[in-house]
């Protein structure tokens, strides 16, 4: 992506989210992050906006700063846990539904 001038906090959050979740080699972090209802709601909205804009840029580019901050908080909270702990929680939760 082409940036003019200095990067904004939103740009920094986007890049950090990509590193923390999308580029993470531990699959469980992606699974847990993208299964959160709040994340799903935001992602649905940004993908719709991205589609309306002929797929210009990346879907995350259409998130508001407030949405980015929420996504970042969720990602940081997930990454506080070890993968084995997340897998155990994920499987326990999936057994309830």
Note the pTM of the prediction, 2 decimals.
0.86
Report domain extents, the chain.
9-96
Mean of pLDDT values over 49-65: 96
Rounded (5°) CA angle 88-94-95: 90
The token duo for 2 is 């082409």
Structure confidence by residue, pLDDT tens digits, 26-43 = 999 999 999 999 999 999
């Amino acid at each position: 992506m082409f940036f003019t001038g200095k990067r904004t906090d939103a740009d920094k959050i986007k890049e950090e989210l990509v590193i923390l979740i999308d580029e993470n080699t531990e699959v469980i972090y992606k699974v847990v992050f993208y299964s959160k209802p709040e994340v799903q709601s935001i992602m649905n909205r940004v993908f719709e906006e991205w589609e309306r804009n002929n797929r210009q840029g990346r879907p995350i580019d259409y998130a508001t700063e407030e949405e980015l901050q929420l996504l970042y908080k969720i990602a940081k909270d997930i990454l506080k846990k070890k993968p084995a702990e997340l897998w155990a929680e994920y499987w326990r939760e999936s057994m309830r539904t």
